[in-house]
Amino acid sequence: MRFTPWKCPDCGQPAEGTVETVPGLALLVFDDSGQAEYEGETKIEWDGQATCRDESGNTILECPNGHQWSAKRGD
């Protein structure tokens, strides 16, 4: 696959990867009255991960320096 641009417009480094979202379930504990507290753990649902895209559908890339930019994907 190809991305344009594949290098960071800010620092010139090649993209390290695509920015992803991963859904998770924050676990709760309830007391007898129904009051909930966050248990302190989140179950990550890895099969639900999705690549982040801009409003035009372009892929969001990130370089090793943490800069993000939109890139068109071509094969």
Kindly report, residue by residue over 24-69, the tens digit of the pLDDT.
999 999 999 999 999 999 999 999 999 999 999 999 999 999 999 9
Q: What's the full length of the chain, in residues?
A: 75
Mean pLDDT of 12-27: 98
**pLDDT value of residue 75:** 76
The vertex-53 CA angle with 72 and 57, nearest 5°, equals 55
User: Which are the contacts of 49, defined by CB distance < 8 A and separation ≥ 6?
Assistant: 20, 21, 22, 23
